[in-house]
Chain A
Amino acid sequence: MNKPTGPDWNALLVKVGSHQDKAAFGALFSHFGPLLKGFLLKGGGVEPEQAEELVQETMIKVWRKAPSYAPTQAAASTWMYTIARNTRIDWLRKHAKKNHQTDELVAEDLFDENEESSPFTALIQTRNASNIKEHLNSLPQEQLQVLTLMYFQGKSGQEVADELAIPLGTVKSRVRLALQKLKLKLSPDGEEQVVYAS
């Protein structure tokens, strides 16, 4: 992976997985923990203690799932992001109305875990990460705003449109423009459709 300076987080994560290395885990925790807390608080709707609870839960999952981590498939930060996202989804569902039927279903069951079957993952990982680093800070404010609302708050396009009081079509075009600037692949669908509210 193209990495600037500092420890090799990917390698530390591998160590956690292969040797249950608590020192490596501690280093990851000290680096990603405050980032995760910042990420969660930026989303709002979460108290600082709850954010720490979520950080803890995320990091425990990281420990348990580390043996399945493959640095050729994802950078540590990407992998952490998906675990944190799934942890937040489960947490939000748990704190919403009770639902006995699907209680034991957790977000990680629902997200695609077969990405290793995709032959280009390692390549696009490297290429995408450097494109994103290069262009993220030059995104127009309005595009960055929509992306951060979606990522940090886990909001759907429709919810972002409601919050900003702008048409859904505007949100969709900002997302598409931003992804294009970051040189990320869009849906092969290519066609504008009315988005599905969640």
Chain B
Amino acid sequence: MINNHPNTQLLTDYATGGLSMAPLISITTHLQFCDQCREAVSGLNILGGELLADCDEVDLSDDLLAQTLAMLDAPMETSAGAEVAVEAPRSSLCPDLANELPKYLHKFLNHQELEWRSLSSTLSVAAISVGEADYELALHRIDAGGKAPVHDHKGTELTVVLKGSFSDEDGIYREGDFLMREPGDIHRPSATQDQACICLSVLSAPIKLTGIKQVLNPFMRFNPS
């Protein structure tokens, strides 16, 4: 049972195409787990269809249909939405996670070596580049029974639990749960004892270090505790 969901505004932004890539990915990931939110999105898409059907028509150029018909038999271009075979993710991904990830994440991961960095004895992070300056996408792993350091949030953070579960001061979060943390929220997540917890996180406004090519993952800005 999933107890934590994106709010209505986020689902609407999703359905209308108003989200950037990284938050879009976090919503899609939640939807893989959540029938209720899929139902809500499905209704929002129907509304889109009705708004389309209700629109004032604007005439097309006379030859547009003929032109388009002539293009139908042309070989597919990848840019036109052709199916691209998704390769198995690279081994840099921990093997037990490979099958849990939505297929589109594999596409990101096939382009980049996933580099797990330890942030503490029980917490590691692997940044995923989506090429957007405003967001950072990352996988976080807390070992079974491990605690993440206390940290606060410099920007809004969206988290989806992919595997295992973790808890903090406010509750326990299981597979598929979606959390939004606001700047200033301080918490200390810890994984449950039985297994490691892996989350997909999206953070807004990452901090860039001048002179260093790498974008500092904001998760590394922990308060000493």
Q: Which A residues have a C-beta under 8 Å from some C-beta of B?
A: 22, 25-26, 29-30, 32-39, 41-42, 48, 51-52, 55-57, 59-61, 63-65, 74-75, 77-82, 84-90, 99-102, 104-112, 114-115, 118, 120-121, 124-125, 128-129, 132-133, 136, 147-148, 150-152, 154-157, 159, 171-172, 175-176, 179, 182, 184-189, 191-198
Contacts and interface: CB of A to CB of B under 8 A. Distances in A.
B50 A82 contact: no
B163 to A, nearest CB: 18
Contacts of A175: 8-9, 12
The 9 closest A-B pairs by CB, nearest first: A78-B49, A156-B18, A34-B57, A77-B49, A81-B48, A99-B131, A154-B17, A189-B5, A184-B43
A198 B57 contact: no
B38 A118 contact: yes
Contacts, number: 258
B39 A105 contact: no
A151 B47 contact: yes
Interface stretch (B65-73, B116-124, B144-152): B65-73
Interface in B13-32: 13, 16-21, 23-25, 28, 31-32
Given A81-B48, A86-B81, 13 more contacts: A39-B52, A56-B64, A104-B107, A112-B31, A114-B32, A115-B42, A118-B35, A121-B42, A136-B51, A151-B48, A156-B16, A189-B7, A193-B7
Contacts of B100: none
